[in-house]
Amino acid sequence: MDRIRIQGGRPLEGTIRIGGAKNAALPLMAAGLLTDERLTLTNVPALADIATMAALLRTLGVAVDPVGNDGRVLAIGGAITSSEAPYDIVRKMRASVLVLGPLVARTGEARVSLPGGCAIGTRPIDLHLKALEELGAEITLEAGYVTATARKGLRGANVIFPFVSVGATENLLMAATLAEGTTVIANAAREPEIGDLAACLTAMGARIEGVGTDRLTVHGVTSLHAATHPIIPDRIETGTYACAAAITGGSVLLEGAKLEHLGAVMRTLREAGVEVAEAAGGLSVKRLNGLHGADAMTEPYPGFPTDMQAQFMSLMSVAEGASMVTETIFENRFMHVPELSRMGANIVVHGASAIVRGVPALSGAPVMATDLRASVSLVLAGLAAKGETIVNRVYHLDRGYERVEEKLAACGAAIERIPG
């Protein structure tokens, strides 16, 4: 099993290209199930989760073909020959459940294994299922599989989510495009990835109103058609490398990054003493006069994203003063705390909040990654630590970060992958 070795203490200097957003690419790939014509996606990131979704689509009979030699363009489409998403693939990634809505909308039936992925919380799919039921789907759960049927097609409805869910919003949005009549989605998620999905669906012929708000209105159409769509840059990768620049005291240009996608991350980094500014081709990031403690509470967009919580905690572990980091989205997302503590961080967890008291320096140590974002938080800590850090179980990292060690090494980090 691969490991990453880091010799800390080197400021990052240079340019890091931000890839396409993983959390936008996965639902966009699932949207290819809504038409038998070709959906062409550009700026596709080269990640393990993308390969998993491609494998899942192929088991359903849909072609997923690279265009060109760099793998950043995918053409998706064709006849659906199976409506079952099997356990062996779905267990690897929770986002696999995003094929449920498109499958039942297109074929009238879907059988999807209950999903797997990182062990950061229960993340139930109840909202997905209840929303599809409101569109007329019949749902049954048996032997670890969800079966949804709508023999006469889906029909529009008013759906009010009891709390914000990105995945449920995406699943319902895709399903509603082919439902008869009008669907209103209230308390919808507003993440940039939702807007990107809506833009792609619109290019395919969908009729969607209210994009960017918490109330989406979808007027169903009989069919969708071919389109070409560029995937937005990854705001979580952007925030992660911004933290990398700040924790090392360096200065980097994040090529292709969009300031308007960062929301509360930008405001919180600035409060902590990190300058984030628009520059030619992207965003420039550098630490100003030391790091200062700042608080963060995870919330739905435009609040502070749960996917940035672990990275921000690493940053605060070497900031002057104390910080409070509160997690409101996933109940098990402090699993990186014991590993950071092994490196000398002073962190005390009280329920859903963690008090982080900054220390002058972290110390390199062997640490264990527990999930995707925890993995990269340990890499960030290693970049700032004195001595050598070995991050074990980095297969999590490969699910969401493309060539992380190469990007950091190109900016001066002493980092390398050790093949397992």
For every residue of 260-287, DSSP letters joined together read: GGTTHHHHHHHHTTEEEEEETTEEEEEE
Report angle CA 216, 222, 228 to the nearest 5 degrees: 70
Other Cβ atoms within 10 Å of 290 Cβ, number: 11
User: Which candidate in 118, 200, 243, 411 is catalytic?
Assistant: 118
Angle 351-355-359 from CA coordinates, rounded to 5°: 150
**Model-wide pTM > 0.85:** yes
Q: How far apart are CA 253 and CA 98, in angstroms?
A: 34
Provide the H-helix boundaries in 179-336: 192-203, 235-248, 264-271, 309-316
Calpha distance 362→294 (Å, rounded): 19
- The pLDDT score that the predictor gives to residue 273 is 97
Distances (CA, A) of 367 to 3, 309, 363: 10, 18, 11
**8 Å CB contact between 140 and 109:** no
Q: Which two tokens stand for residue 329?
A: 């989205």
Residue 248, Cβ density class (10 Å: 0-12 exposed, 13-18 middle, ≥19 buried)? buried
63 vs 66: CA distance, rounded Å: 10
- Which residue type occupies 29? M
Residue for token pair 């967890």: 349
Give the Cα separation of 242 and 267 in Å (integer): 12
Take residue 324 and report the two structure tokens written for it.
């409070």
Amino acid symbol at 356: V
> Whose structure tokens read 């789907």?
137
What residues contact 153, with CB distance under 8 A and at least 6 apart?
108, 136, 178, 179, 180
Single out the residue of 59, 55, 68 nearest to residue 26, CA to CA: 55
CA atoms of 103 and 76, how far apart (whole Å): 14
> What SS3 class is residue 61?
coil
Q: Is 406 helix (H, G, I), strand (E, B) or coil?
A: helix
pLDDT of residue 116: 54
The strand order across the sheet containing 388-392 reads: 366-368, 388-392, 3-7, 414-418
- Judge whether 83 and 103 are in contact, CB under 8 Å: yes
Pair of tokens at residue 143: 């032997």
Question: Is 200 in the active site?
Answer: no
211's CB contacts (< 8 A; 6+ apart) are: 194, 195, 198, 199
pLDDT score for 117: 43
Residue 277: its pLDDT value, please?
Answer: 96
Q: Are 313 and 239 in contact (CB under 8 A)?
A: no
d(CA 132, CA 405): 41
**pLDDT in 10s for each residue of the chain, 420 residues:** 899 999 999 999 999 999 999 999 999 999 999 999 999 999 999 999 999 999 999 999 999 999 877 779 999 999 999 999 999 988 888 788 999 999 999 999 999 988 754 343 444 688 999 999 999 999 998 888 999 999 999 999 999 999 999 999 999 999 999 999 999 999 999 999 999 999 999 999 999 999 999 999 999 999 999 999 999 999 999 999 999 999 999 999 999 999 999 989 999 999 999 999 999 999 999 998 899 999 999 999 999 999 999 999 999 999 999 999 999 987 677 999 999 999 999 999 999 999 999 999 999 999 999 888 889 999 999 999 999 999 999 988 988 899 999 999 999 999 999 998
Cis preceding-peptide flag for 230 (omega within 30 of 0): no
Element (H, E) at 292: none
